[in-house]
Amino acid sequence: MSSRESGTLPPQQLSSLLKLLPDVQYAFGYGSGVFRQPNLYHAGGQPLVDFIVAVENPAAWHALNIKQNRNHYSFLRWLGGGTVDLVAESIAAGVFFNANVILGDQRVKYGVVSLKRLHQDLLHWDDLYVAGRLHKPVIHILRGNLEVAQSISTNLDAALRLALLLLPPRFSERDLYRTICRISYMGDIRMGIAEDADKVDRIVAGSYSSFEALYGRRMIQGRVAESAQLARSYTGSWRQTPSRAAHLQMTSELPMGLLKRACRAAKVRMEDEAVGLGRVRLMAGSNLLEKGNLQQSLEAAAASLVRRSSRKQAIAGPLMAGPWASLAYLSQKVIKAWRRRPLII
């Protein structure tokens, strides 16, 4: 059985698609066209393949790609690569998408982000947009970029840390993966309209072994596992028993973008960064714990980040694809989401 039939797009197929674009420094494939999800596909239908590429200079990259694949772009192609990048940076959440286009013989949706913006989001969750996608299993085409690999690892630790803070003392491994997966959908303006309500469960079910590969070792060893005092019971469930000091450490080490919004949600003071980043983090964590309702504040913070970035991408959509193509793509998403809803009589 091929890897495509068993549920995963072969990495070489993604690599072959990238050869049809200008050179990139990093790329990853994600979504239901890359990892198969249960009860989603229609016979004979070719799933859309989603991927994101990171490049050093997006304006120059788009200028080359407009020459190479001009039909992928809306009217913005007439305004040049600089304008395309300006839309991504000033209107969208840093990612410019060419949606529902043909690359080779494959229907794809691909996004372009700057390496700088990618690192910022992975390390600090400024947007929790690309970072959120990289909480879940993806196909990496790293091109030997060690700095990207390190930022991705930091992002995975942050997702595990937040999930543990949101979970009760005892939980199942599936509960953990569902919580991690749910982070990037909290506050998403598409949920319930252009995304179906069972999306999180389908992602976890379709990629369970890949979630284990991402987080299994992190649950046994490493800074997060040690802080949470993670232990597995004979029944297979997990238990966390962090001390108050460890709980403070876990909270204060959350990405700064999330920490700031959590303090705002809890209405607690955050120190000026002039006193030093370490002290800012420690005091923010301490104030959040003293205020109480930590889980609600963290969920509100994540939802605020995702809501903002998903709204920005939605606003930029008609510019990226053109109004009619954008409407057609959204209609397909809505139809797919509503097909998944149970029939109520």
SS3 of the chain: CCHHHHCECCHHHHHHHHCCCCCCCEEEEECCCCECCCCCCCCCCCCCEEEEEEECCHHHHHHHHHHHCHHHCCHHHHHCHHHHHHHHHHCCCCCEEEEEEEECCEEEEEEEEEHHHHHHHHHHCCCCCHHHHCCCCCEEECCCCHHHHHHHHHHHHHHHHHHHHHCCCEECHHHHHHHHHHHCCCCCCCECCCECCCHHHHHHHHCHHHHHHHHCCCCCCCHHHHHHCEEECCCCCEEECCCHHHHHHHHHCCCHHHHHHHHHHHCCCCCCHHHCHHHHHHHHHHHHHHHCCHHHHHHHHHHHHHHHHHHHHHHHHHHHHCHHHHHHHHHHHHHHHHHCCCCCC
Q: What is the pLDDT of residue 341?
A: 47
Q: Which residues contact 20 (CB under 8 A, 6 or more apart)?
A: 68, 69, 103, 104
Q: What is the pLDDT of residue 286?
A: 95
Q: What is the pLDDT of residue 146?
A: 87
Token representation of residue 140? 């990496």
Q: What is the pLDDT of residue 106?
A: 92
**What average pLDDT is seen over the chain?**
88
Q: How far apart are CA 125 and CA 132, in angstroms?
A: 8
Token representation of residue 237? 């469930």
Q: What is the pLDDT of residue 155?
A: 99
**Residue 246 belongs to some domain of the structure:** yes
Q: What is the pLDDT of residue 331?
A: 46
Q: What is the pLDDT of residue 102?
A: 94
The tens digit of pLDDT for each residue in 308-337 reads 999 999 999 999 987 545 444 444 544 444
Burial class (CB in 10 A: 0-12, 13-18, 19+), 251: buried
The tens digit of pLDDT for each residue in 260-269 reads 999 999 999 8
**Residue 216 belongs to some domain of the structure:** yes
Structural domain range at position 325: 3-339
**Residue 344 belongs to some domain of the structure:** no
Q: What is the pLDDT of residue 2?
A: 39
A 10 A CB-CB count for 339 gives 11
Distances (CA, A) of 31 to 9, 52, 83, 237: 10, 11, 28, 28
Token representation of residue 60? 């120059």
**Residue 315 belongs to some domain of the structure:** yes
**Residue 208 belongs to some domain of the structure:** yes
Q: What is the pLDDT of residue 324?
A: 47
**Residue 345 belongs to some domain of the structure:** no
Q: Whole-structure pTM over 0.75, yes or no?
A: yes
**Residue 64 belongs to some domain of the structure:** yes
**Residue 197 belongs to some domain of the structure:** yes
- How many independent structural domains does the chain possess? 1
Token representation of residue 45? 């239908």
Report which residue type is found at 238: W
Token representation of residue 210? 């890949």
Give me the residues of the chain with pLDDT under 70, please. Answer: 1-8, 38-46, 192-197, 323-345
Q: How far apart are CA 183 and CA 162, in angstroms?
A: 9
Using CA of residue 106, residue 205, residue 28, residue 10, what is the dihedral sign? Answer: negative
Nearest one of 274, 251, 277, 279 to 263, comparing CA atoms: 251
Distances (CA, A) of 272 to 209, 259, 260, 263, 289: 43, 13, 11, 13, 19
